Amino acid sequence: MQPGWTLVNPAQQQALPVSSHFIMNIFQKLFGRKRKGASTNGNHSTASPDTIKTIEDNTEKLWKFIEETMVYYNSISCQCAFPRYRQIVSLDCVDYKKSFYSSETQGFIQHSRPYFNMIEGDNKQEDNSQFWTCKKCGSVYDYAYSGFSIYVNRGYLKIKEHKILDIGAEPLNPTPFFVGLFGHSYPDRALFKQVDFDTFSSYVRQTKNGY
């Protein structure tokens, strides 16, 4: 595990609905018996109580902001018109031949559900495969979800048919994150950059010049 990227079990974050109570329950279940100090779980380091509390608070703050951002996207166009949205929801650890989970990716996917129609997909290699169609612009995405282990369950949305003019700013590299990546193994750190909340919130809402 790389410094700064803490192992947590994100499995329960795949469920709905998302709420502050729901998020707090996740961490109580994950870490409730480990709050007296740091420990290890097999070959995996577990977070200290202070780190766990920070993750709890930042996750709640992030997912609330993501919910508000989806409303913002659809007040001026839709999420599909923002390339940085597509960048984040398409993050897939399999593409890096690693095993990790992104809180930003899963938060955006969960809060995207009300804005899409969903039908069964055809990717038999995934535990769950669907086609998601934007209710506003008709853009189509491949959605997939698989549970790799007790520590890593991941989902993604990858654009299949893009049907709206982009008004959002182009993606930047390295990809910024606020809460970040958790799991067994990680991509090259040069591909991702941890940023503060204000920087991340500005990043995902930024529009092109003239919009």
Instruction: Please report whether residue 1 resides in a domain.
Output: no
CB 46 within 8 A of CB 7: yes
* pLDDT reading at 143 higher than 80: yes
Angstrom CA distances, 146 to 59, 129, 177, 184, stand at 21, 9, 22, 15
Partners of 101 in beta bridges: 182
Residue 175 half-sphere exposure toward CB, CA atoms < 13 A: 21
As for how many domains the chain has, the answer is 1
Instruction: Please report whether residue 135 resides in a domain.
Output: yes
Q: What is residue 94's predicted lDDT score, i.e. its pLDDT?
A: 82
Instruction: Please report whether residue 37 resides in a domain.
Output: yes
Q: What is residue 149's predicted lDDT score, i.e. its pLDDT?
A: 53
Q: What is the separation of C-alpha 186 from the centre of its chain, rounded to a whole number of angstroms?
A: 15
pLDDT digits (tens, 9 = 90+) for 41-52: 434 456 678 888
* pLDDT reading at 8 higher than 70: no
Instruction: Please report whether residue 2 resides in a domain.
Output: no
Q: What is residue 23's predicted lDDT score, i.e. its pLDDT?
A: 52
Characterize the bridge pairing of strands 44-45 and 40-41: antiparallel
Instruction: Please report whether residue 211 resides in a domain.
Output: no
Instruction: Please report whether residue 53 resides in a domain.
Output: yes
Tell me what the mean pLDDT of segment 85-108 comes to.
Answer: 91
Bigger pLDDT: 40 or 177?
A: 177
Instruction: Please report whether residue 6 resides in a domain.
Output: no
Q: By residue range, what is the domain housing residue 135?
A: 11-205
Instruction: Please report whether residue 5 resides in a domain.
Output: no
